[in-house]
Amino acid sequence: MLGLFLFLVFLTFFSLLLYDPKKLPTLKLKGTPRQVLLPHPPISKPSSSTVSDIDSGSRKAIATTLSDLAQLEAAKDNQEQCIVADSSKFNQSIINEALQGSRDAIFVKIEDFIQSQRQVSGAYTPLYELLSDYPFRVGKMLRPTMCISVARAVGGMGHSALTAAAALELYHNAFLIHDDIEDESESRRGKGTLHQMIGIPRAINVGDATNVLAVGLLLENLSVLGVSKALNILHEIEFMARQSVEGQAMELDWVATNPSHLSDQDYFTMCVKKTCWYSFITPCRIGLIVGHPASSVQDLIEPLAGLTRFGMILGIAFQIQDDLLNLQGEMESYGKEIGGDIYEGKRTLMLNHVLANSKQEAEKMREILALPRPQKHPDHVAFIMEQMQRCGSIEHGWNVARSLAQKAADIFDSLEFLFPETPLRPGEQWVSPVHDRRFLKELINYVIYRSK
């Protein structure tokens, strides 16, 4: 992806200008030295013993969470029926107010930025018409809302997090454009996918351009938040992007190689990389960086670790529910093709389960999954869905998602640095007061009981 490549080149150059590893943990600027958060550690075993306390705290949080997942036991009780969606399980008023408030503000921010780029002398204006497609289809707006809510829940101003939140939404839409191409998806947010509308080469370029737009927005943080926080956020974004493409590579490799036995733990590992970092962990971490008044990076070690664990667990639950909706949801509310994951051969938790537990039919299912998408037909999809029902794979997915949501709730209760409520304050250019701990709390059940 050219856009991602250009972004990483830019980030490296910008970091070299401002970031001197010999002067850790402070960056020497004119005036008072300012503390800088260091880049994230990789999820794998650390290669150096000379890491910052923040690296160490994040690494411990990741390792502990993945270890916990290895021991995870799905809820076994039958007191609650396997339900695909149920809005009575969360405060829909808080969820709707927060998401709509974010949507209104993000739409304005992105539209204004696109218009400013369109008006640059010599700009190729037809491109900017295409850039206004995916971001303005009505999506959930979870990532920006989490970012703003965490920022306000630790004492920050809502408008201070808007630029970073809008950049996260643009990255999300860039990923969607490329993801739809790689998965040969047919619908997105109730409409045809962009590559079906304008062709693959042009859609790839629009995805690249969307990434470039996000970089431009992040540059605004230099004046909004200052150099230190802006650089911290760039490091967060770089790590997020790297994890996401690694997770996508894992999933695409599984589709290509058609493995027979993938475990729940394999799925969790892929999901943490592909979904959790860019959908949950990074929005929360950036919100903390934007809103926290800490004068020392030491004050952020434990909060960042706690939010990392919370985002990892909730992110996996979110993805399992998304996969369940792809099997049993309603097209009108879900906005994507029902059964699309089977057509695409994606190794969801439920598909891995049915392949492992349907001994006699497993090979037939793998033969179906190996077919190119144009050769798969509804009878193939119906057969695999029937096997999932017979083997309890749908119930397994639901039970795991519910167990993860409960674990996320337990972690959330321990995040005492998030204020119970954050009323709108004088000088705050924001509308909705529920962008705070209240939204984050309701998000837990929303993730597993939503319909889209």
Mention every residue, 6+ apart, whose C-beta is less than 8 A from residue 145. Answer: 98, 99, 101, 102, 165, 435, 439
Distance, in Å, from the CA atom of 170 to the CA atom of 176, rounded to the nearest integer, reads 10
Q: What is the pLDDT of residues 69-82, one digit of tens each?
A: 766 655 544 445 55
Sites in the chain below the pLDDT cut of 50: 2, 5-6, 8-9, 12-13, 16, 19-51, 76-79
Place of tokens 């149920």: 86
Distance, in Å, from the CA atom of 383 to the CA atom of 255, rounded to the nearest integer, reads 19
Q: In the chain, what is the greatest distance between 2 CA atoms, to the nearest angstrom?
A: 71
Distance, in Å, from the CA atom of 250 to the CA atom of 259, rounded to the nearest integer, reads 12
Token readout for 291 is 């809103």
User: Residue 271 in contact with residue 251, Cβ under 8 Å?
Assistant: no
Helix-then-strand count for the chain, H and E: 19, 4
The residues pairing with 191 across neighbouring beta strands, listed in sequence order, are 188
In the prediction, which pLDDT does 28 show?
37
In the prediction, which pLDDT does 54 show?
59
Altogether, the residues listed in the chain come to a count of 452
In the prediction, which pLDDT does 359 show?
83
User: Residue 303 in contact with residue 415, Cβ under 8 Å?
Assistant: yes
The residues pairing with 192 across neighbouring beta strands, listed in sequence order, are 187
E-only strand ranges, 156-307: 187-188, 191-192
How deeply is 384 buried, as exposed, middle or buried, from its count of CB atoms within 10 A (0-12, 13-18, 19+)?
buried
Query: How many C-beta neighbours within 10 Å does residue 379 have?
Result: 8
Distance, in Å, from the CA atom of 402 to the CA atom of 307, rounded to the nearest integer, reads 19
In the prediction, which pLDDT does 294 show?
80
The type of residue at 291 is G
Nearest to 97 by CA among 436, 426, 419, 452: 436
In the prediction, which pLDDT does 137 show?
85
Query: How many C-beta neighbours within 10 Å does residue 155 have?
Result: 14
- What is the Cα gyration radius of the chain? 22
Q: What is the pLDDT of residues 133-148, one digit of tens each?
A: 888 787 889 999 999 9
Q: What is the domain partition of the chain in residue ranges?
A: 2-29+91-414
Task: Write down the architecture of domain 2-29+91-414 according to CATH.
Answer: Orthogonal Bundle (1.10)
- Give the pTM: 0.84
Distance, in Å, from the CA atom of 334 to the CA atom of 351, rounded to the nearest integer, reads 20
Angle at 132 between CA 276 and CA 106, to 5 degrees: 55
User: Residue 157 in contact with residue 430, Cβ under 8 Å?
Assistant: yes
In a 3-state reduction of DSSP, which class is residue 389?
Answer: helix
Distance, in Å, from the CA atom of 324 to the CA atom of 13, rounded to the nearest integer, reads 42
Crossing angle between the packed helical segments 162-183 and 282-291, to the nearest 10 degrees: 170
User: Residue 174 in contact with residue 207, Cβ under 8 Å?
Assistant: yes
In the prediction, which pLDDT does 20 show?
43
Q: What is the dihedral of CA 95, 98, 102, 103, to 10 degrees?
A: 50
The type of residue at 257 is T
